[in-house]
Chains A and B, each alone.
Chain A
């Protein structure tokens, strides 16, 4: 049986000032899936994530989260529907220490991870609680950025390039974390440049070009579709 869609994006357009960035994005993410948006730099992947959270200056079309239309909602109301965003630049606050960063996002639904569960998942963070947020290493900041949204009870996670610029051993740790979250039933939309990383953890991939989805590949057919992928992603 196919699980119910929790995130349905259709005919989504977005603009930054005069520049029209998304040209009718269409895709669906179902309960418990890990889905990636793949594509070259500037294809509109990050803008899609931002448009879902309502933080682009102008957007149009339809974004349904668990059935409710959110295109006209302000960002804080969207977040309250149980969706959380881990931005590409991580967004760790310099004027807050690690613990304050971790506790910052308000709980939006019951069932978030407890502090003990979070520290079991990211043991490094437990030792650095009173450090200034931005004094952490890049990998630790990424873990903090993921950890703080797991506390909130949000079950749909938007992760924007969580492995960007990180050492291979940290990338592996983040990969294990995402797989674990999938086992726990989280629904994850992942933006990735690193296809080899994405292929191992995602169920399906959408290829994004010039602000729209041009292809969809299930992880099972990644082998045969290899050539298609290379043409899409080669610079």
Chain B
């Protein structure tokens, strides 16, 4: 068997792929957090619960209405995004201009409430969600076996991240968003309905989390706490990338997933903590994060 640095090649590539998959979820979730933080100045602790809602919406659509994976990719983000819009309009809006702490408390409390409601309804054991027929099976690449569904998750999440980045950096709508992140008052005085833009941005960030949830449903078990486990790591990713940096969250998301995967190969005991160690080092050397602008 081929070995690389003393590790069997299939094990190394297997962990690399796992790292890429985790990185894909880190990237999509931290991207939504970054967009929301940039414009709303709110650290959205509900994000993990909204990711979980995306997975559950897909599960409910399939088991209650017979609506499959492909429609769920569209409908679940739409539905969860709408609940996000309601949350922004009814609750978050009232926190504008207050200290970060209030937003943190509100969104954290909301996450607990949502997770509690789902646990009450579905229990804490995970529910299975089958891989769609079109994406079953895999490719033998010679040095490793690549399951089709995992390849799909990596490709789609990369595409979604890049599309989001392009829209924000290269379009007129994106220039409104960037400008309003810097100086919302002036942008509104130019004739742009900034309050509406804030609501839609929150809805979009939440929809992105739900989209990630649907992608995750066939890989991880659909369970009420699936987001709570993930979101802690995602916050570390956001801190490392730099609060509010779009490109930063994409690059650090994928990068840290891969680093975590490689750690599992070379020093398994450290794999659960490596991201937090990196976070501590980055905070010491570059408090604004790798891609953050010091304010």
Task: Check if B172 is an interface residue, CB within 8 A of chain A.
Answer: yes
Q: Which of B151-175 contact A (CB under 8 A)?
A: 172, 175
Instruction: Please report the number of residue pairs spanning A and B whose Cβ atoms sit closer than 8 angstroms.
Output: 57
Q: Name A107's closest neighbour in chain B (CB-CB).
A: B191
Is B185 interfacial (CB-CB < 8 Å)?
yes
Within the complex, the shortest CB–CB distance from B292 to chain A, in Å, comes to 13
> Is B183 in contact with A55, judged by CB distance below 8 angstroms?
no
A95 B191 Cβ-Cβ under 8 A = no
Query: A104–B184 Cα gap in the complex (Å)?
Result: 13
Which residues between 227 and 275 of chain B lie within 8 Å of chain A, taking CB atoms?
none
Known: A91-B183, A93-B183, A103-B172. A79 touches B189 (CB 8 A): yes
> Nearest CB to that of A108 among chain B residues?
B191
Segment from A64-72, A80-88, A173-181, A202-210 that makes contact with B: A80-88
Docked CA distance A105–B180 (Å): 12
Question: A53 at interface (Cβ–Cβ under 8 A)?
Answer: yes
Q: Is the interface of A mostly helix, strand, loop or mixed?
A: loop
Q: Are A53 and B189 in contact (CB under 8 A)?
A: yes
CB-nearest residue of chain A relative to B176?
Answer: A104
CA A154 to CA B168, docked complex, whole Å: 27
CB–CB B182/A75 < 8 A:
no
Is B181's CB within 8 Å of the partner chain A? yes
A54 x B191 contact (CB < 8 A): no
Contact A75 B188 (CB under 8 A): yes
Tell me which of B172, B182, B194 contacts A95 (CB under 8 A): B182
Contacts of B182 in A (CB 8 A): 93-95
User: Is B130 interfacial (CB 8 A cutoff)?
Assistant: no
Return A90 CB to nearest CB of chain B, in Å. Answer: 10
Q: Do the beta carbons of A76 and B194 come within 8 Å of each other?
A: yes
Q: Are B188 and A55 in contact (CB under 8 A)?
A: yes
Distance of A136 from chain B, by nearest CB (Å): 16
**Are A106 and B188 in touch, CB under 8 angstroms?**
no
Most buried by B among A78, A91, A95, A105: A95
B196 CB to nearest chain A CB (Å): 9
Q: A91-B183, A95-B181 are in contact. Are A84 and B172 (CB under 8 A)?
A: no
Partner of B190, one of A54, A95, A100, A105: A105
**Whole-angstrom CA separation of A76 from B187 in the bound complex:** 8
Contact of A106 among B190, B194, B195 (CB under 8 A): B190
A106 vs B183: C-alpha distance in the bound complex, in angstroms? 16
In the assembly, what is the distance between CA of A204 and CA of B185, in Å?
Answer: 30
CA gap between A96 and B191 in the complex, in Å: 18
Q: Please name 14 further chain A to chain B contacts, defined as beta carbons within 8 Å, in addition to the given A85-B189, A93-B182, sorted by A numbering.
A: A55-B189, A74-B195, A75-B188, A75-B189, A76-B188, A76-B190, A78-B189, A79-B188, A79-B190, A80-B191, A93-B178, A94-B182, A96-B179, A103-B172
Could you write out 19 A-B pairs with CB less than 8 Å apart? A55-B185, A55-B188, A75-B188, A76-B188, A76-B194, A79-B190, A79-B191, A84-B190, A85-B189, A91-B183, A91-B186, A93-B179, A94-B182, A96-B175, A103-B175, A104-B175, A104-B190, A152-B190, A152-B191
Closest 9 CB pairs of A and B: A79-B191, A105-B190, A95-B178, A75-B188, A91-B186, A75-B189, A100-B175, A53-B189, A93-B179
